[in-house]
Structure 1
C-alpha cells in the first residue's frame, strides 16, 4: 500500500499498537479514523489529536460492526484502507475446561469473527475503489506457540491463513491484502506486558513497521526484524528450538 494519501479505518485502536499506528499513519499524510467501544476514550483521542476521526464500535458485536461501517462509509466515502486490528490475549489452562472455555470463546469471537465481520462489512466498498488495502494483524505466535495462550495462538494462525486465502481470492482486483505480524510489543495486551524487557518498545515497533510499509509497498507480510525468529523457525529447521526458547521466557518479562 502507498504510505500516504489514504483514508484509513482502524477499529480496536484506542490504545496500544492500534492507536500508535493510527497516529503514525496520520503523520504520514493519511486521513485516519479510529474505532473503539468506549466513548470517553474516543472523545479524549479526538481532543488530543485534532483531525483524527472517531467512531464507536464493538468488534465483538455483529450489529455494532454493521452500524459503524454504515457511519464510516457515509462520513468518509473515500475510505480505501481497512486495518482489522481487533485482538485480545488471555492466559488459559486447558487442563481444566471450566477455566478456559469462556476465555477461548471470547478470544475467537474477538480475534477471528471480528476481522471476518469487518471485512464482510467493507469489502463491497473497497472493491469499488481504484486502489484499496485490507491489513490484517496476526502475530509471531501464529507461527510459534506460547504455551500459556492457546486460543490466542490459534486465532492468530487463523488470521494468517485467512490473509493468505483472501489474497488469492482478491488477486486481479483492486484490493490488496497485507498482514502485519507483530512480535511481543510493550502494550497492555497481557497484564504487566507494558514493562516487559522481553517485548519490543511500542514506538520502535510502529516506526519499523511503517518504514517497511513505505519501503515495500507491495509486501504481503510486514515483518519487523524481531519477529523473524518466530516466523521462520520451521523454514530454518530449528522450530523445536524456537518453541523451547520462547517458552523458557516469562511473557511478563519477570
Structure 2
C-alpha cells in the first residue's frame, strides 16, 4: 500500500462521517467585497438553527473562527461576519481602533453589514426564524446593535462588548432577547455606560439578562490577551468557561 492509498484510507472515512469545515465565503456590500467564513454542522439540530459570530476589533480572527467551529460541533449552522471588508483588515491596534470607531459612530452601516452576514448564514442553510447573533468586544457591541435595529433574530449575546449608545439616538422598543456576559472589573465599560444601558433596556421593554464575572476585565475570552488584569484586557479561564455555558443555555432557550 503506497502513501497516497494510506492517506485516502484515513481521509475518506472522515469525510463520510460529515466532519464540518470552515469555508471562506465572499459577498458584497455595494462594491466592497466582504469575506466571511461559513460552517455547516456535522449533525444539524431540529429546525436548523444558526448563529452569526461577530469578531472583535481586529475583524475576522482565529477566536471567532474557533467559536464557529465549536457551534457547528453543537449542531448549529454558523457564519463569521466580515464587517470591514476583504481589503480593509487592520494591521495594528491603531487601525483596528479606527475601523471599529467608524462603525460604532455609523451604526446604520454596522447594522447593514450585520444583516448582509445574516443573509449569508441563511444561504448556508440556517433557518431564518431560528437565529442568534453573538459577538466579542467590538462584535459584542454589534450584537447589541442588531437588537436595537430589531433585526430578525431570536436573540443576541454580547461577550465583554461595549454597551454605549449616543444620547441623541431614540430608544426604540426591542423585541429581541438579550444576554450580556460582562467582566465585573472591565475598565473599558464604565459604570455610567452600564447604568445607561440597563436604563435603556428597561425603557425599551426588552427581555434582557446581564451576567457579571468576578476578577474578569475586558477580552476575558481571548486567550491571546495575556493574564495581567492591570492592562484592562486579559484572559480569564473561569469566566471564559462560565460564559460559554451561559451562552449555550441561552441558545437552547431561544432556539
- Greater RCO structure (CA 8 Å; 6+ sep): 1
Give the TM-score normalised by structure 2: 0.44
Q: Which has the higher strand share?
A: 2
Give the structure with higher Rg (CA). Answer: 2
